[in-house]
Amino acid sequence: MPNTHQQHERQPHSEAVINHHLDDATLMAYAAGTLDESLSVVAASHMAFCHECAREARFADALGGMIFERQEETPLHDNALTNFLTRLDSPMPDVGYRSGRSLPNHARTSSLPRALARYLDKPLEDTTWKRIAPGLAIHELPVSPAARGRLHLFRIAAGKAMPEHGHGGNELTLVLSGSYSDCFGRFALGDVADLDPDANHQPIVDAGAPCTCLIATEAPARFTNLMARIFQPVSGL
Ligand SMILES: [Zn+2]
């Protein structure tokens, strides 16, 4: 794969103070290329904000390369350590690049993570939103047909509470603007919520500003509230 700056994540956004990270299993799966496309877009987008997760993913990728060599039962090359360190220092190509998506022109001057921008046909501020409830609008992003999960942008009004829900699969949520709080803490710019299938939560957007999030789900949300369950076929979540 060509090693050009264009294909990689831009340098992490230095202004973001990250309090919530990807878990180890997600980082390992991302580095191994086995994480579902939808989840990979959110993971890679978080890494545009987070030096720590980006470094851990590169470490897992470099380590995986060495283990692969051992499994091949070929003797480790003399400069295996050099190769390992080189790989450790090389930004990984993002998931959109790997799946052949070009970077749209609007993304070249955008502060959005490139992994996300590849899936947007227009700038975020020009996105067309589908209103699915008072204070809640979504925009579905077009992942490949082979992807198991779905990928949405959510725009939630200030002070708005989402219905309490669980998930049939993993869910990754990345905050792009504003902030919200739930039983796992407060999530602001660049923070990611990496939730297991058995996690239930009720995000409430902090007062003062709406919250825009990028959310990947492996399976539909399971709302605990009857009205939300009735509403689900309409909302498409
Ligand atoms: Zn992180």
Predicted confidence (pLDDT) per residue in 50-78, tens digit: 989 999 999 888 877 776 666 665 565 66
Characterize the bridge pairing of strands 150-156 and 136-141. antiparallel
Check whether 27 has a pLDDT greater than 50.
Answer: yes
Average per-residue pLDDT in the chain? 81
Cα–Cα distance measured from residue 28 to residue 23, given in angstroms and rounded to the nearest whole number: 9
> Residue ranges of the domains in the chain?
16-117, 124-235
Residue range 16-117 forms a domain whose CATH class is mainly alpha
Report the alpha-carbon angle 152-154-157, nearest 5. Answer: 170
pLDDT band at 135 (very low <50, low <70, confident <90, very high): very high
Cα–Cα distance measured from residue 168 to residue 80, given in angstroms and rounded to the nearest whole number: 41
Rounded distance from Cα 205 to ligand 1 centre (Å): 21
Per-residue model confidence (pLDDT) at position 5: 38
Q: How far is CA 147 from the centre of its chain?
A: 14
The answer to whether the CB of 57 falls within 8 A of the CB of 51 is no
Per-residue model confidence (pLDDT) at position 159: 95
Amino acid at 141: L
Amino acid at 136: L
Number of neighbours of residue 137 by Cβ within 10 angstroms: 18
The better pLDDT of the pair 198, 202 is held by 202
Cα–Cα distance measured from residue 16 to residue 11, given in angstroms and rounded to the nearest whole number: 12
The tens digit of pLDDT for each residue in 169-181 reads 788 999 999 999 9
Rounded distance from Cα 62 to ligand 1 centre (Å): 18
Rounded distance from Cα 168 to ligand 1 centre (Å): 24
Check whether 224 has a pLDDT greater than 90.
Answer: no
Between 15-24, 174-183, 194-203, the lowest mean confidence (pLDDT) is in 194-203
Per-residue model confidence (pLDDT) at position 1: 37
Buried/exposed 74-91: b ≥16 CB within 10 Å, e otherwise: eeeeeeeeebbeebeeeb
- The two tokens of residue 4 are 């050009």
Fold agreement between 16-117 and 124-235: no
Rounded distance from Cα 147 to ligand 1 centre (Å): 23
pLDDT band at 97 (very low <50, low <70, confident <90, very high): low
Ranges assigned E (strand) in 43-187: 130-133, 136-141, 150-156, 165-167, 171-177, 180-182, 185-187
- Kindly tell me the sign of the dihedral angle through the C-alpha atoms of 36, 170, 178, 24: negative
DSSP 3-state assignment of 45? helix
Rounded distance from Cα 30 to ligand 1 centre (Å): 13
Region 138-154: mean pLDDT is 91
DSSP 3-state assignment of 8? strand
The answer to whether the CB of 195 falls within 8 A of the CB of 216 is no
Rounded distance from Cα 27 to ligand 1 centre (Å): 9
* Domain 124-235 CATH superfamily: Jelly Rolls (2.60.120.10)
For residue 82, the cross-strand partners are none
* Residue owning tokens 């409830």: 133
The alpha-carbon radius of gyration of the chain (Å, integer) is 19
Rounded distance from Cα 119 to ligand 1 centre (Å): 21
Which pTM value belongs to this model? 0.81
Rounded distance from Cα 231 to ligand 1 centre (Å): 34
Instruction: Give kind and range of the element (H or E) at residue 194.
Output: strand 192-195
